[in-house]
Amino acid sequence: MTRPPVPPFTAETAAIKARMAEDAWNSRDPHKVSLAYTEDSIWRNRAEFIVGREQIVGFLTRKWAREMEYRLIKEVWAHEGRRIAVRFAYEWRDDSGQWFRSYGNENWQFDDAGLMALRIASINDVPIAEKERLFHWPQGVRPDDHPSLSELGL
């Protein structure tokens, strides 16, 4: 299975890869998201260590059950060869109605087929008031005309 674009990444193909990841995560479909990763992909997400697609699906299922009305924006920070570093922010609310903006960085490493073999994520959650929300598009893919993280000053 090949998942273009494939390494080595240029600025353009790294941006395409990041937007594809953002769109997939905004779908909140754990099975769809898992297909972008190698079958034995290794993740560190906060303090959780995940190996393989089955664990990715389980993790994402739990995540999106807790993080309601999830909306994510990713932006490439750097790229070289088969690696891409992104920064991101996402907004969500918990079951009590408290809104959060989560900020973080991810380091990605891809195999020759363009599947992500390694994902290392560091994330911080900041409680926000509903009036402080910046991500207001309908759930799903972010519209092309919605501001980026840089345009939002994040």
For 129-144, how does the pLDDT look when each residue is reduced to its tens digit (9 = 90+)? Answer: 999 999 999 999 999 9
- Rounded Cα distance, 105 and 123, in Å: 7
What pLDDT, on a 0 to 100 scale, did the predictor assign at position 45?
A: 95
Domains in the chain: ranges and CATH? 11-152 (3.10.450.50)
pLDDT digits (tens, 9 = 90+) for 29-68: 999 999 999 999 999 999 999 999 999 999 999 999 999 9
Q: Burial letters for 93-109: b for 16+ Cβ neighbours within 10 Å, e otherwise?
A: beeeeebbbbebebbbb
Question: How large is the greatest C-alpha to C-alpha distance in the chain, in angstroms?
Answer: 44
Whole-angstrom distance, CA of residue 72 vs CA of residue 121: 14
The answer to whether residue 1 scores a pLDDT higher than 90 is no
Rounded to whole angstroms, the Cα distance separating 140 from 96 reads 22
* pTM listed for this prediction: 0.97
